[in-house]
Amino acid sequence: MQFYNTLTRTKEEFVPIDPKEIRMYTCGPTVNNYAHIGNLRSYVFADILQKTLEYSGFEVKRVMNITDIGILSSDADSGEDKMTAALIREGKELTLPSMRELAEFYADKFKEDLKSLSIKEPAGIYFASDYVKEDAELVEKLEEKGYAYQTSDGIYFDTARMPDYGVLTGGKTKRDEEHARITENPEKKNPEDFALWKFNTTMGYESKWGRGFPGWHLECSAIGLKFLGEQFDIHTGGIDLIPTHHTNEIAQSESATGKKPFVKFWLHSEHVDMANQKMAKSAGNFVKLGTIIEKGINPLAYRFWLLMAHYHTKMNFNWEALEASEVALKRLYRQYLDLRESVGSIDPTYQQKFRERISDDLDTPRAISLLWDLTKDEKVSDADKKATILDFDKVLSLGFANLKEDEVPEEIQKLVLEREEARKNKDWERSDEIRGATAGMGYQIEDTDSGPKVSKI
């Protein structure tokens, strides 16, 4: 099994630290609003990764944070605090309880999105606000080791003390445009130094340094160290997290523990663009999963659309592409439902090919092409096709096991019988009229050797 490791910038064989249990961390959402479908790509990717590992026989312990406290807008150490801005936007009181209430509302909506996309919830989902004590302890440890210093607005990590700072980006650090627009703190020793704790006298958590909030990067280190240990196997997220968040997470974690690497494999998924621009709430060019559902489109069509590209491939969302994806998925559903026999045995040749493809850095496009090949293969019995599709779906999670034939309305059934009578009498004109009428009512008739098959369009 091979994955592309951002840390080494190569595709390498995956060997777990402990073969009995793979420990995996996924960067969770900032719950200041509804997630958009661009955000959700990284969770579909992490889900495929977890299910591939489990399909290969591994036990997986996956943990994810929920950012629900006053973090800043990006890697910047000043500027807009997303959670406070959300409280103001919704006219809520500027208090920590109000912040938690708002966070829980959007966290629940996020979990609904995960369910709609057949994403398995991690074993542990932890609100950052519940681990501020662990954050503060980590800052104290960094202070004791000489990696932290204080300025008038907070505690900062001294990147000059870490010779290999920026290892995730090949030894070079890059700050995003949003950071570049924000005025630097002139008290910082180095431009790349980042906040471990930011003072805030209006609202925040009490600490030995005064009231404030943990730095954005701190919560993932604290939660990862607490629940997965000082070194673990896999860390996932979107590519936008590489140059700042994940770079700084490595710096503070390895400096605190003295152990390297903090994480053995770093895996990152590409963006979903819209109109060739990164999908973002701040830019106003985004789509919520709820909007897809409101349009009557199966949310699994979006999952299917994502899986038709490799997770390293940037995708450009448009409604035509999603609708085409739904049509293709419905075709697969129809072919599965037409396998009338009971479930047989998994075809070993197809299973081996599927394992090879999905274990090759999660090559979902080639795995899905195998699904199409299987449905057309006349050498495989219908019963075995059914079993093999269900086996593939342990990873792909496209909902085959839950498929049921729609009950055909009595009116349609009568028309089908009338059409059969017309065909017996060679009244082809009437036969075609009825086929057209049923199509207009949302049902298609397919003539087979065993009689007519009726399915919803």
Peptide bond into 452 cis (omega under 30): no
Whether the Cβ atoms of residue 121 and residue 111 lie closer than 8 Å to each other: yes
Answering whether pTM is above 0.75, one says: yes
Question: 10-residue block means of pLDDT along the chain (457 residues)?
Answer: 97 96 97 93 99 98 92 48 84 88 96 98 96 97 97 94 91 48 71 91 86 92 98 97 95 97 98 86 83 96 98 96 96 91 94 98 98 96 97 98 80 87 90 90 80 77
Can you give the pLDDT at residue 112? 97
Residue with tokens 């629900």: 68
Residues 6 or more apart whose Cβ sits within 8 Å of residue 263: 7, 25, 224, 231, 232, 233, 234, 235, 250
Q: CA torsion sign, 343 to 346 to 347 to 350?
A: positive
Can you give the pLDDT at residue 173? 54
Beta-carbon count within 10 A of 20 CB: 8
Q: What is the phi-psi region of residue 118: left when phi exceeds 0, alpha when psi lies from -120 to 50, beta otherwise?
A: left
Can you give the pLDDT at residue 290? 96
Can you give the pLDDT at residue 175? 47
Residue with tokens 């202070």: 143
Output b/e per residue, 376-413; b: 16+ Cβ within 10 A. eeeebeeebbbbbbebbbebbbbbbeeeeeeeeeeebe
Can you give the pLDDT at residue 409? 78
Can you give the pLDDT at residue 172? 57
Beta-carbon count within 10 A of 425 CB: 10
Can you give the pLDDT at residue 233? 99
Can you give the pLDDT at residue 72? 47
Helix H or strand E encompassing 454: strand 451-456
Can you give the pLDDT at residue 440? 87
Whether the Cβ atoms of residue 156 and residue 194 lie closer than 8 Å to each other: yes
